[in-house]
Structure 1
């Protein structure tokens, strides 16, 4: 039964609330160790307690949070590309299984990158005024890598590539589309801020991850579609140029053939006259 008017709008809103909340709950349940230690670190009064949870989070994240996030992006991809009525549980766990190895390896790579950036940042921040400037550079690296994470998951669930190609392309897309990257960072930052500061973490539990995944993949898909259209236009122009070159070459060959025939005819006429 399909509702129309106000009732239809309310029904669609409630349906999307259900979809977003179910996927977000699955995401949290599959990443429960990361969220548990992360929550314990946030509520602790001591900064040392928060710092002590970071190594634990670094170890757990590639094996739990990254595969769960890849599964969430798998569902978000279906929604953005028009498949809104997909079975949520089946699609989520299929995405979890299919992308587990790549997401885990990608998680290890990103943890390694973040570790290198953090170690270098604290090293240079303790140096003299000249070398302190390099610490700002590593902050910029942190922002780029953070934005590339969203593109990493979008590329993983949308295209078939090897893990190093996914990481490389996610960073290149981030750098190559600065406006889209800034928009993605700001919007996701607003989502995180609102979810962490309003309604006592209610939004974190039911909506934060799924909304971020859906928006991030929508942003990526929009940029990717534009890139495909530009590439298609360039290919069409190249094909048109090639066709024009072939036509011109064929015309030149025809002219040369005609000229040769006329020359042969002229020679034969001269020979007849000489006879």
Structure 2
């Protein structure tokens, strides 16, 4: 019991530290995306017991490493999700019943793409695969664990709610809590797909066809 409690406290400390770095590197606002990628990468290494590094220098390294890649992939996802949501509100405000049905279809697509993004970020960090293959693998994982996927995408909502209810406590886990569950859900999904046939460490690159 003491060992389990120690492990929980250690992880809480780690999430607070990496969340602070994420906030620090996100101060210019536009760097929030590569900063988030760096945070996911650090947490993924911790989960795979690759912790023989100093957190701050490693965060800087990962931030630089994924700077442009994160914008190409992450920003595209944000734009697509944003367009779906904006169209949802525009069509819903028309009052036309047919358009309202279409608006909810767009909202469903936005949620689906948000779920894909939830897996695509850790996968793009773990594996050197083409963008469309990352999307396909994300969809396969969603199909493999639909309930877990639905629960996982509520974590960002929970983090925002926590920020509004308990601002001080919410800030220290604002991004790291979401990143933590992204890594866990992705690792579980990969285990379901590949079992023990391949390692899921971030250094492994699965064979591409």
Give me the TM-score of the superposition, normalised by structure 1.
Answer: 0.63
The match for 1:147 is: 115
Cα deviation per residue 1:200-244 (whole Å; 9 max; x = unaligned)? x22233223122211220111011111002988xxxxxxxxxxxx
Q: 2:77 aligns with which of 110, 121, 126?
A: 110
For 2:117 and 2:69, locate their aligned partners in 1 and report how far apart those are by CA, in whole Å. 13
Cα deviation per residue 1:136-195 (whole Å; 9 max; x = unaligned)? 111111211222222121101111113343345434533553222112123443343224
Matched-pair contact (CA < 8 Å) for 1:117–1:138: yes
Partner SS, residue 53 of structure 2: coil
For 2:85 and 2:64, locate their aligned partners in 1 and report how far apart those are by CA, in whole Å. 31
2:153 is aligned with 1:158: no
Matched-pair contact (CA < 8 Å) for 1:151–1:220: yes
Matched-pair contact (CA < 8 Å) for 1:27–1:209: yes
Report the alpha carbon displacement of residue 127 of structure 1 after superposing the two structures with TM. Answer: 4.9
Q: 1:16 aligns with which of 11, 30, 41?
A: 11
For 2:137 and 2:5, locate their aligned partners in 1 and report how far apart those are by CA, in whole Å. 40
Please tell me the root mean square deviation across aligned C-alpha atoms, in Å. Answer: 2.7
The match for 2:205 is: none
Structure 1's 10 and 231: CA in aligned 2 closer, same or farther, altered over 3 A?
closer
Report the alpha carbon displacement of residue 13 of structure 1 after superposing the two structures with TM. Answer: 5.1
Structure 1's 31 and 164: CA in aligned 2 closer, same or farther, altered over 3 A?
farther
Number of residue pairs matched by the alignment: 197
Report the alpha carbon displacement of residue 113 of structure 1 after superposing the two structures with TM. Answer: 0.7
The match for 1:183 is: 151
Which stretch shifts more, 159-168 or 205-214? 159-168
Name which structure has the greater RCO, CA cutoff 8 Å, separation 6+. 2
Structure with a larger share of its residues in helix: 1
The match for 2:201 is: none
The match for 2:207 is: none
Give me the TM-score of the superposition, normalised by structure 2.
Answer: 0.80
The match for 2:193 is: 227
Partner SS, residue 32 of structure 1: coil
Listed as ranges, the gaps of 5+ residues in structure 1 are 35-59, 233-275
For 2:61 and 2:4, locate their aligned partners in 1 and report how far apart those are by CA, in whole Å. 30
Larger radius of gyration between Structure 1 and Structure 2: 1
